[in-house]
Amino acid sequence: MRRALRIALPVAIVVVALAVGASGSDGPRSDPERAQAIAASVRCPTCAGQSVAASDAPAAEQIRAEIDRRVAAGESDDRIKASLVAAYGEGILLNPPASGVAGLVWVLPVAALVFAAGGLAMAFRRWRTVPADLATDDDRVLGAGQEAPKRARLALGALGVVAVGLAAGVAVANASGTRHAGETASGEIRDLTDDRLQEASDLARGGDVRGALELYDGVLEDDPANVEALAERGLLLASLSEAAELPQLLPEGRSSVERALEVDPGNPRSLFYLGLIQRLEGDEGAAAETLEEALASRPPPALRQTIERFLGQAGTDDGTG
Amino acid sequence: MNAALGTAGVALGLAASLIGILTLAVGLRRKRSALLRLGRSYASLVLAGAVLATVAMERALITRDFSLSYVASNGSTATPALYNVATLWAALEGSIILWSLVLAGFTVGVVVKFRDRLTDPLVGWATLVMLVVCAFFFLLMAGPANPFTTVAGAIPTDGPGPNPLLQNHPLMAIHPPMLYLGYVGFTVPFAFAVAALVTGRLGEGWLAATRRWTLLAWGFLTVGIVLGAWWSYEVLGWGGFWAWDPVENASFLPWLTGTAYLHSVMVQERRGMLRVWNLSLLLATFSLTILGTFLTRSGVLDSVHSFTESPIGMWLLGAFAATVVVTIGLIGWRGDRLRSPGSIDSPVSREGAFLLNNLLFAAFAFVVLLGTVFPLVVEAVNDERISVGTPYFNRMTAPIGLALLFLMAVAPALPWRKASGELLWHRLRWPMWVGVATLVTAVAVGARGISPLLAFGLGGFAAAAAVRQLVVAVAAARREGASLLRAFVGRSNGGMIVHVGVVVVAVAFTAASSYTTSATFTLTEGASASIAGHTVTYEGMNEPQVSPQRTLVSARVRVDGGQVYEPALNQFPNATQTIGTPSVRVGAVDDVYLTLVAVPEREGGPIVLGVIIEPLASWLWVGGGIMAAGTLLAAWPTRRRRPAGQAVLPAGTPEEAGTPLAADDAERVPTGVR
Amino acid sequence: MALGHPEEDLAIHPRDDDDEVLSPRRGRTALVTALAVGVVLVVLIAVLAMSEPSSSRLADSPLLGRRAPAIEGTSLLSGERFDLRDERGRWVVVNFFATWCEPCRAEHPDLVRFAAAHEAADDARVVSVVFSDQPDDVERFFAQRGGDWAVIDDTTGIVPAWGVTGVPESYLVDPGGVVVAKIIGGITAEGLEDLLERAQGGPQGPGS
């Protein structure tokens, strides 16, 4: 009893202390902490193996600033890393990927350790059963040869060790390795934002409005503040309401564009879209006002021409402007 | 003049080592004792050549002889004296001179130490191997990395000086030589291991002969690594000391296998087991130093510390390949006939613990090696570019480190052969409670996270176990009438002190990397900022110090209302990059690490100040010092208990039995079947 | 390394009591293990021997063949808004630069020449993105050295979105808005024309 207690007491103290210690460790992290953690896992592209957190090289500063911006915008760690991978390649992350050939970097050491530990355990078993005095390897090999079941058991044990080693390695890789950009637990591969935006815009131009809308929705799921997706989605919804005579879609389109304007207030393209929607709603006055505002926010030349064209139409209809 | 002198030195060294190799080979083959005795003279000539080359280069650097390409591209009239001398190892070619000098020194050390046994084939083969390595490095200097090439055309009047980062801190003057003493020192046990394999004499004699050499090499490597970390901390300005950079890994790898060897060799000495494994560890340690040299000097891997790329890479890779072929060949050829019988009765015994220790160190080394070269492998296999960096190494090595700490706590208390529960309880009770108390204290002062807390708890346990062993052993020695200093000398006591040092380093490493707080403040003159219980006050800029070699702008920052620290920015005339010089308020509890991020854009404007609070960081260097002291005590010659003049190779003598590992398990166990 | 006859050597000097004579071969464990380790190491050596120095392994950008990341903003020179998407239908050279960078200054006249050569046909334009620099300096730079294309100060993460590691770096975007080439280091007008010609002839040909 006393004997049990003398071990149980320290063990209990350790367990309680660790429980207390573990509980405090994963509270919600502040933005700077999160940004710092991400920066520490991103390689500085110009400075030899250091992380961007540890470097003052200009490229590292720019990446740090980008991480800060995205953290402030509420993007998830994985998304921020994925966006950097899209621009710089997989090598920008200091944590190697969990899958593919690169994943072996996780699997091999764990498997090797388990193999070696298994081998050592088997050696200890053998040492215990075979008297040391006659234990040359030849004797043991001979002995094993005579007893086929023993050998089979040995082979089975070895097989078990190999299986456990590989399983442990894969488990560590999955727990610790970087998942490829867009790789989800279900294994679904999702395209990166920019690709999806491009595809959506191509689809829309080709007339597949619903397909485009689906892609924009997907983008917004990952990045609810994506201005381009919000604005384009709004315009598409509005045009769909017009073409398919589904008037209930128009307010939703409008709110999507308005959300885009909340994120980036002076964006001439979003303003232009808002104007178009207002016109669809029949509020020509507000539309003209919005289009003027779009013109005043210095749109690029091509967009300016388009807006002016629409404004011209509005002008002739209304006789204003 | 200097070029001629240096070239003469290189030629002398190369010729002496080549002729030496030939002479020894013939001597060994034909059994001519007279030829074998000549090894000593050749070794001395090699050293003379290396000294000549070193002197010539230092002379060229000090007299600013810009007719030498090396001086023209690495020296400058503005470099201060200390860094000017250190420029010898600031670039590739010069570093090879230093390497050769240290190697030749060790070679002479071997022939002097074994002067009475030069005709022994074991010593003959070892000397021959050392000379082969010497010949290789002199060949490098004669060919692809010739430090004594002269400038073609007009001789410049000044040079750019060494890389600014290398003339920023006095540690640069001692860190590389320490590292080289460690790296090169492992050549000696390697040479003896090869000799043992070739001659087939794998008794414990050659082990005893090289034990102290190995220990010293290991000690130098340890000091070199710690100093390197310290240099990073003081100079690089991001508050880090270890980044799992390829060059750091290259120095860490032989340290890991060397440490594994220092432990497993005790099993061989006690039980006569693990002979082939021990040899393999020594061969691996040396091979890894060559591989490390290749990785740092060929430019295949990105690293802050690497030398510029050069054709020497292929030579070093060739040397690595040759080493691998020879060592693998020797082990394959002789290994099975040299394997020792014997068995270990119980895994819960000192031998069992050493086996586990070796398993963990081998796994540690495997992780570090794999992580270092893996990007190259992946790129070769499927043209994919990946990085393997700090997150990987931390994740993979933390569990191994924790297991090693646990082993460090338990193993010294384990007796050889078999342990009884009662004995273990008796020995581990107090250390265990110290560990528990450390853990509770850590939680109480606010440390969080399972992994760091385990490190602290196990650290306390391990340190207390080591101290207990030490106290018991010293008390026993004192009872026998040893002086206080004498009582501490010896392998086991030194080893326990090294353990304490390792614990200090491990705890400091954990604290400083887990609980760092950092922030960047924009401060106007007189303004203060608070972070983690510290207050920093910006008190103004100093006058810029303009000197020919750099312009230094520094800010005055008062820490906690006490002393003023002056983080600075350096602008070197020949570099576009500005280099910050951090300023650190060193403290026992935490360091306040200040960096000047940006200077005022106009007079009286605000500065941008980076502040990093690193708990326990200063204990890293203290721990390194303790490890060095422990190594010295372990390697210190114990009092001879035999009359002088007896054979110098003292296998199995009382000296080797040394201080008993613990007072109560000193029984000398016969070595199984022999 | 030449291996002598160790058995003969032993005769030279009396062996230490402790030293072992070769015992008969016990199994093949060491041989097999040594060979296995040897094979792995030979592969490693082969990989190391084939690896190019890291400095010549400058990444070809993962952006190649993909839609160009957004460049939106107000030009520092004209004050007009610029949006890369509105440049569809013509080639765009996206140039990342800084006034403190020597090669950037060196390549600037070539950019000016290239822009001028394509001004009439309006089939290619240049847009510059400022990398870690002060707007005042940039305006002065263009006032002194010419060039009147859109110059965007990066406040929205253009640099990291393009995977820029240093300056100068230039990208060629085709009329369909797809990145077709990345040039690290300074460019020349001739080099750009050459690249344009090759890109037009290649499979990535103009979309309009």
- B284-296 pLDDT, tens digit each: 999 999 998 888 7
Does residue B77 have a pLDDT over 70?
A: yes
The confidence score (pLDDT) of residue C83 equals 87
- The larger pLDDT score, comparing residue B664 to residue A254, is at A254
Chain C contacts of A269, Cβ < 8 Å? 83
The confidence score (pLDDT) of residue B451 equals 92
Does residue C3 have a pLDDT over 60?
A: no
The distance of A102 to chain B (nearest Cα, Å) reads 6
Burial class from Cβ neighbours inside 10 Å (0-12, 13-18, 19+) for residue B85 reads middle
Mutate to test the interface with B, among C5, C21, C23, C35 (most CBs of B within 10 A): C23
Which of A83-92, A118-127, B388-397, C23-32 is predicted least confidently? C23-32
The answer to whether B228 contacts chain A (CB < 8 Å) is no
Q: How many CB atoms lie within 10 A of CB A142?
A: 11
Partnered with residue C171 across adjacent β-strands are C94, C182
Mutate to test the interface with C, among A105, A223, A293, A298 (most CBs of C within 10 A): A298
Low pLDDT (below 50) residues in chain A: 132-135, 138-145, 181-190, 315-321
Query: Looking at the partner chain, which of A46, A62, A298 has a beta carbon nearest the beta carbon of C81?
Result: A298
**Which pair of structure tokens corresponds to residue B196?**
């043992």
Contact check, Cβ <8 Å, B121/C12: yes
The distance of A298 to chain C (nearest Cα, Å) reads 5
- pLDDT band at B490, cuts 50/70/90? confident
Chain B contacts of C37, Cβ < 8 Å? 328
Interfacial C residues in 103-142 facing A (CB < 8 Å): 131-132
Question: Which of A280-294, B580-594, B597-611, C157-171 has maximum average pLDDT?
Answer: B580-594
* Interface size, chain A vs chain B, as Cβ–Cβ contacts under 8 Å: 169
Does residue C25 have a pLDDT over 80?
A: no
The pLDDT tens digits of the residues spanning B259-283 come to 999 999 988 888 888 888 899 999 9
Distances (CA, A) of B232 to A53, B165, B572, B610, B627: 15, 10, 19, 17, 20
DSSP B260-318: HHHHHHHHHHHHS--HHHHHHHHHHHHHHHHHHHHHHHH-SS--SSPPPP-THHHHHHH
Query: Looking at the partner chain, which of C9, C48, C49 has a beta carbon nearest the beta carbon of B31?
Result: C9
* Interface size, chain B vs chain C, as Cβ–Cβ contacts under 8 Å: 149
| Chains contacting chain B through 3 or more C-beta pairs under 8 A | A, C
Contact check, Cβ <8 Å, C35/B332: yes
Mutate to test the interface with A, among B372, B392, B513, B593 (most CBs of A within 10 A): B392
Compare all CA atoms of chain C with the CA of B301 and give the residue at the minimum distance.
C54
The distance of A63 to chain C (nearest Cα, Å) reads 6
| ipTM confidence | 0.84
Give chain C's radius of gyration (CA, Å): 30
The answer to whether B363 contacts chain A (CB < 8 Å) is yes
The confidence score (pLDDT) of residue B78 equals 80
Does residue B23 have a pLDDT over 80?
A: yes
**CA nearest to B649, candidates B114, B160, B137, B191:** B114
Q: At what angle do helices A301-318 and A268-281 cross, to 10 degrees?
A: 20
The answer to whether B450 contacts chain A (CB < 8 Å) is yes
Q: Which residues of C92-116 are buried (b: 16+ CB within 10 A; e: fewer)?
A: bbbbbbbbbbeebbebbebbbbbbe
Compare all CA atoms of chain A with the CA of B357 and give the residue at the minimum distance.
A117
The confidence score (pLDDT) of residue B473 equals 92
Contact check, Cβ <8 Å, B117/C13: yes
Please tell me whether the overall predicted TM-score, pTM, comes out greater than 0.90 for this model: no
Contact check, Cβ <8 Å, B386/A90: yes
Length of chain B counted residue by residue: 674
Does residue C124 have a pLDDT over 50?
A: yes
The answer to whether B254 contacts chain A (CB < 8 Å) is no
SS3 per-residue string spanning A131-143? CHHHCCHHHHHHH
Cα diameter, chain A: 112
Burial class from Cβ neighbours inside 10 Å (0-12, 13-18, 19+) for residue B264 reads buried
The distance of C26 to chain B (nearest Cα, Å) reads 5
| Chains contacting chain A through 3 or more C-beta pairs under 8 A | B, C
The confidence score (pLDDT) of residue B574 equals 54
**Which pair of structure tokens corresponds to residue B123?**
């010593």
DSSP B138-191: HHHHHTTT-TTPBPSSSPPS----S-GGGGS-GGGGTHHHHHHHHHHHTHHHHH
Please give the span between the terminal C-alpha atoms of chain B, in angstroms, as a whole number.
61
Query: Looking at the partner chain, which of A87, A269, A303 has a beta carbon nearest the beta carbon of C161?
Result: A87
Chain C contacts of A70, Cβ < 8 Å? 157
The confidence score (pLDDT) of residue C4 equals 40
The answer to whether C185 contacts chain A (CB < 8 Å) is no
What is the pLDDT of chain B when averaged over all its residues? 86
- pLDDT band at C208, cuts 50/70/90? very low
The answer to whether B597 contacts chain A (CB < 8 Å) is yes
- The larger pLDDT score, comparing residue B120 to residue A149, is at B120
Cα B449 to its chain centre, rounded Å, is 30
Chain B contacts of C33, Cβ < 8 Å? 331, 335
The confidence score (pLDDT) of residue B325 equals 93
**Which pair of structure tokens corresponds to residue C143?**
């006032």
The confidence score (pLDDT) of residue C26 equals 62
